[in-house]
Structure 1
Amino acid sequence: MVHQGYWKNQSVTISIKTNCLTVSIGSKEVFSYDLAGRLWTALVNEVSYRRGLDGKVVAKWQTPDKNRHRRWLSPDESVNLIQRGHILLNDLLSDLRNNQIKFNPPLDEKGWHDLQIAAAFDNSSAVADAKKYHQVYKPVGILPPDQYISVVLQAAEGCSFNTCTFCDFYRDRPFRIKRVDEFREHIRAVKAFLGEGLSLRRTIFLGDANALVIPMPRLISLLEVVHAELDVERLGGIFAFLDGFSGERKTAQDFASLAEMGLKRVYIGMESGHEPLLKFLHKPGTPQDVLQAVRNIKAGGVAVGIIVLLGAGGKTYADAHVQDTSQLINAMPLDAEDLIYFSELVENENLPYVQTAYQTSLQPLSAAERIQQGEAIEANLVFGSKSGTPHISRYDIREFVY
């Protein structure tokens, strides 16, 4: 339900949805909350903000030259944003109660309830909420962009191989598969934490980095717990990473069984189709392992998300990376249900990749050259007219927030 009015010489809109509440003041100030009252997104003076469940806030904006920018807010800046929304909604509520503003149509009982819940979210609420998050979750290292508002369930913690030199998301913890009873308690803790905010979540993501290497009997048992605790179909199904190919290899029949239990898409950190580059990155497995995994997944009736790392290997591997990656993707039975993500290599001095690149005098690609590399790979891709074309987009890990 959309409610429109006029307040303090500006148009105001309150949108009451089944999964969130959004208040818009004019065209330059928008605050959105989940139904548990958590600030979720905001727009202030053409800067968009996204708050994660862990309390971190990322700001994004675009300059007149069409370049995109981002940065993480400091704690003080996050407080200011939360308090801005808190004050705005409470002022609006006060004037509503005093009949100084009228909406068309008037707010119904649900509208009043949702607005009051959102207006109560202040800095102390945010601090307490983030503290609860850290009691429920180990750090969620990364998700595919289309899974940023999923319900993450950590069936396993960490990464099963954890050797990739360009990744430091899971260096702080060993790989561990949860027991069934432990996983059940984790799911219940997640549900209690999200509360009414569960309605905002669109899918279920089975974490952490490589949950699908869990042996089938244990994996089936864990998925049975998911179904016992959550309405999987209503939430949109189950999604997961398969980032390594050194563990148990699942067959097409295995994936068909997982599809029956709600598995919708498997994301594969392929990185490159050039085997020497994979070895340079200390990525387990070979391009043929990736190809076979994709064939098994697709034969089992599950979609895939292929992730390609742009800039990996610098100028030394650039040409071979483009050629072999294009050939490998073209050999995959992809269709319109699948995704291809181009993720730009993000370097920092603590990564083993950066140290190895320095030791081998590797010349990095510039930001423009990395974009051109993605365009070159995409230009070489050929898809069948009957099966359709996978959706292709960028994947910037610097914008990840959960």
Structure 2
Amino acid sequence: MKKYFTDRKLFVYRIIGIMLIFIFLVCDFVLVLETKSGIYSELPTYGERLSHYYSYFTTQSNYLVFMYFIFYLFQKKFKNTKPDFIIRIMVTVYITMTMIVFWTGLFVQGDLMKNMSVYEWISTFILHTIMPLVMILSYIMTAGDIFYKFESHHKANYWLICLYPFLYLLCILVRGYIRHVDKQPSDTLFPYFFLNFYTTNGFSMLAVGTVLIFTLCTSFQYFYIWINNLFYFRKQIKVNNITKVDQIKILLNIKQYRQLDHKGKIAMILAIVVAIFNIVFSILYYVLRNVWSKILNYSYENKIVLKFTIIIIVFSIITLIFVILGLANFYWARIVVGFCSIALICFNWIWIAGPIFDITIATLCLNNHKYSKADLDIYLATHNKTNKLKLKPFPEQILLLDEDEK
């Protein structure tokens, strides 16, 4: 099997992959220029069509993936290194947002899928599924070379990664305003319906969409950092040639059922409060739906409100169950609470402050480590003295370590 994955052949595979992506992007580009269906039928000039095509976050994020793979190819070939960790996580977060927002939000909009040709379906699937999955797989395969601190991420790199979505949102809103002033067709003002603040309840929809975008951007950053650190520990065990039996001993001895620290306790208490509030609020929201409709001046469909209420109640009950297990010092239960909080972000915007609490809970839960790098280093050093194993030294590529772990 190894003969099929030599450095030379891997370089050839990457070249072929980049060429296939390039061919697809060119074909998609030509399709946009020549198509006369859908929204492009209202855009008579090539300039108008290209302006609309490149206003999509989907288009921009897929081009970023393409440029990333080119950059990765040259880094690997001529420097035998990988792109910086922040670049890898940045591109992965953006393309993941593209996939999740499309399939959970835009795809369910019936008008979007009407009258699509076979090629347009293929193009949509590649842009919103194949390309994101390829990038996510690439990230996973290259993760774990460094240990990255959750606690220090927000000091610099978090804001750097959020900068591009912020600038994108700002430019798209300005572009939509200018097109509105020029009296362009209303459905060509903005690439996504939730950004159109000229429609009924437009500003409310824009606020919700903005919260959701930056919520996803935040959640995926910490989620991929968590994956990286998980792979880091696994790689260190492998690098040090630790046997399966010794590996089990390590996992059992390095605080697998670590006592909750103060951050973990805060996360569990917040999760209980938010879950109970969600259940009460969602029930009241459903019972008083007619009152809310009059106060907020919006129409609603009863079945949608009912589904909305059931989803929140189910997720909140699941959260409460795993909070109890988390308080009993089951590490994996606290991780489940974190991911449930991420899932509830998409629904808790209804009471405005909900996403803020969910992000806080998720961050604290994912940051409540099963074990730290310092724990692993100490255990391996002790294990080495006790069993006289010849362990290889750990790499010094540790980013943003706190003083107590240096």
Relative contact order: is structure 1 or structure 2 higher (C-alpha 8 Å, sep ≥ 6)?
A: 2
* Structure having the larger proportion of residues in helix: 2
- Please report the TM-score for the alignment, with normalisation by the length of structure 1: 0.27
Flag the structure with larger Rg. 2
- Please report the TM-score for the alignment, with normalisation by the length of structure 2: 0.27
